[in-house]
Each structure stands twice: as C-alpha cells, then as structure tokens.
Amino acid sequence: MRLITLVFLVLLVLIQYPLWFGKGGWLRVHEMGLQLQAEQKINADLRARNDKLAAEVKDLKEGAGALEERARYELGMIKDGEVFVQIVDPSHPAPGTPALADTAQVAKPGGSAVTPPATPPTH
C-alpha cells in the first residue's frame, strides 16, 4: 500500500511539472503577461509622441504662428520695427568675457601686458 501511494505521488509531481515550469506553464504565462503590459505602455507612450509630432507638423503646414514661434526662439529672429532686449544676470559674466578673477594680465595703453602685483604697494 505504501508503494502505491509513493508511485501516485511521483506521478502527480511528474504531471504537475509541465503545468508549472513547462513551455506553456503558469510561470511562463505570468512572465509573458508582464512583458505584454510593458510593451503596451511603451506603445502608448510612442503613440502619444507621434500624435504630438503630427499636431506640430500640421501647425507648421497650416499656421503662421508656429513658424513665427520657431523663428523667434530657435533662430533668434525679430520682426521689423521690434527691438530685442536681453537682460543679463550681473552675477554671471557674459559668454566670451573673462571673469575678473580669471584675468592674469592687464593691458597697458602701449599694447604690452603687465602682470598686476599680488599685494598693493605700501608707502
């Protein structure tokens, strides 16, 4: 009797193995479901991006406002009669100009450069 129970138990385990770990098993189906959800989210994001790009193309083809906006912000263009005013933060030097701490030489009127003294002279 004990042998028959053991044989049935082994057969039960052998039958259950493909159900859980086989090619079409529960774990594989669960894993594929998670992959499907991830791919659907990626597709939804890409679809939203495509819709946004399509709307932008439509605006560029049909409307002058989008063209003007791009010309102003991306190319720095202005209309005739407009004045361009740029406000610069005084704590940040303008691009291309050295900061006061970075200057190592001071130009003389004659064209030669002189290194400034490290400490002011005392009299």
Summarised one tens digit per residue, pLDDT across range 5-38 is 999 898 888 888 877 777 778 888 889 999 999 9
C-beta neighbour count of 12 within 10 angstroms: 10
**According to the model, what pLDDT value does residue 103 have?**
46
Q: Is the sign of the CA dihedral 109, 112, 116, 122 positive or negative?
A: negative
pLDDT of amino acid 72: 82
| Phi, psi dihedral angles at 51 (to 5 degrees) | -65, -40
Q: Pairing between strand 113-114 and 106-107? A: antiparallel
What pLDDT score was predicted for residue 106?
47
Instruction: Give the relative orientation of helices 26-62 and 2-21 as an angle to the nearest 10 degrees.
Output: 10
* Run of H or E including 86: none
Residue with tokens 């290194």: 115
Average pLDDT over residues 42-55: 97
Tokens 């005013």 correspond to: 85
State pTM to two decimals: 0.42
Per-residue confidence (pLDDT) for residue 112, from 0 to 100: 47
Q: What is the pLDDT of residues 82-113, one digit of tens each?
A: 887 878 888 887 666 665 544 444 444 554 44
Count CB atoms within 10 A of the CB of residue 71: 13
Please check whether residue 103 is in contact with residue 97, taking contact to mean a CB–CB distance below 8 angstroms: no
Of 45 and 74, the structure prediction assigns the larger pLDDT to 45
